[in-house]
Amino acid sequence: MNSHHDDIRAVMWRNDKLYLLDQRLLPHQQKFLAFEKTAAVADAIRDMVVRGAPAIGVTAAYGVVLAARGVYATGPSAWRQAIETELALLAAARPTAVNLCWALERMKRVMEDVQGDPEPILLQEAKLLHEEDIQANRRMGELGAALIERPCSVLTHCNTGSLATGGYGTALGVIRSAFAVGRVEGVFADETRPWLQGARLTAWELVQDQIPVTLLADGAAAWLMSRGKIDWVIVGADRIAANGDAANKIGTYSAAVNARYHGVKLMVVAPLSTIDRSTPDGKAIPIEQRPAIEVLSLAGQPVAAEGAAAWNPSFDVTPAELIDAIVTEKGVVLKPDAARVAALFDAA
């Protein structure tokens, strides 16, 4: 893979601090913010400085490192109890993204065996988790690209690239890998209202990678499909239930319904940690409701009639029967259902 296909990192640990690329300012400004307190990290997750389920998980792991530093400095005897308050702040920051809780549970397991200062061991684990995410994304890129049988154009929704992960990306990682071997000729990117992750982030990443990208309004996707312009819709997921139902950025369900009607295939790309086996189906996935102002305004400017209300779920759920393939780093599930998802874990 050419280096210009993977030179973006939104989460970094440097000089004993966590640095996050402030994604609210993209594409016009590239600014990293430094963090030394766990509460500030939780705020950054909640306020969309960092977003994307895998990136949130990596960020949370580094947040645990900062939490350990803060509580251990107050006394080595009671830090395990003191750190629970800090971990609760992180866990509450974004309720839908299962990778957040998965990363916290992984860090907690490491804490159980720590003797002495926990920070060095937890930092080692956070860095390992980060690197594993990048390698998993590269593997998913290979597996997903192999499903694309002929050179074609694809549609994606929201942002699933290096900005949304530890690096390389999930759905955008598949697109990167497929483009590198000539199976993707161009990408159509939904704008993704109300935060415009497709317009601000995905289009920016693909321009950096010199991959042809065409932006379209979310409502234009069905008409694009009707004209035979795309073969695959490739998206990520913030949580996948045990039966294969997938929660992703609001608008994904619409894309899935439109894809099925028009004979376009749908690929969901996410690490195994995104599959929540304790959640039986999509109805049990908590859907984050965000402030109405995000819909009623744009870049701080009101766009709706004064007095109008807004409904602003951040995610929707695509039923498994509308999904042609779930791609993980441990394998691919075609036509997912509960038995096939369970078999993936058995094989892994």
pLDDT, residue 5, reads 63
Q: What is the pLDDT of residues 182-196, one digit of tens each?
A: 999 999 999 999 999
User: Any catalytic annotation for residue 7?
Assistant: no
Confidence of residue 123 (pLDDT cuts 50, 70, 90): very high
Confidence of residue 4 (pLDDT cuts 50, 70, 90): very low
Asked whether residue 319 carries a pLDDT value surpassing 60, the answer given is yes
Here the tokens at position 222 are 């069905």
Domains and CATH numbers, the chain: 3-134 (1.20.120.420), 140-347 (3.40.50.10470)
Q: What is the 3-state secondary structure (H, E, C) of 63-126?
A: HHHHHHHHHHCCCCCCHHHHHHHHHHHHHCCCCCCHHHHHHHHHHHHHHCCCCCCCHHHHHHHH
What CA–CA distance (Å, rounded) separates 60 from 42? 8
Q: What is the pLDDT of residues 101-113, one digit of tens each?
A: 999 999 999 999 8
Asked whether residue 3 carries a pLDDT value surpassing 70, the answer given is no
The catalytic residue among 133, 209, 238, 316 is 238
Over residues 210-223, the mean pLDDT reads 97
Closest CA to 130 of 55, 19, 67: 55
Give strand pairing partners of 112.
none
Asked whether residue 321 carries a pLDDT value surpassing 70, the answer given is yes
Over residues 161-177, the mean pLDDT reads 96
Q: Which residue has the tokens 């957040």?
A: 100
List the beta strands (DSSP E) in the chain: 11-14, 17-21, 32-35, 152-156, 184-190, 213-216, 232-235, 239-241, 246-249, 265-269, 275-276, 297-298, 301-302, 315-318, 325-328, 331-334
Q: 205 Cβ partners below 8 Å, 6+ apart? A: 8, 159, 161, 162, 163, 169, 172
Q: What is the pLDDT of residues 34-45, one digit of tens each?
A: 999 999 999 999
Q: 273 Cβ partners below 8 Å, 6+ apart? A: 54, 57, 98, 99, 102, 103
Average pLDDT over all residues of the chain: 94
Q: What is the pLDDT of residues 32-88, one digit of tens each?
A: 999 999 999 999 999 999 998 899 999 999 999 999 998 888 777 788 888 999 999
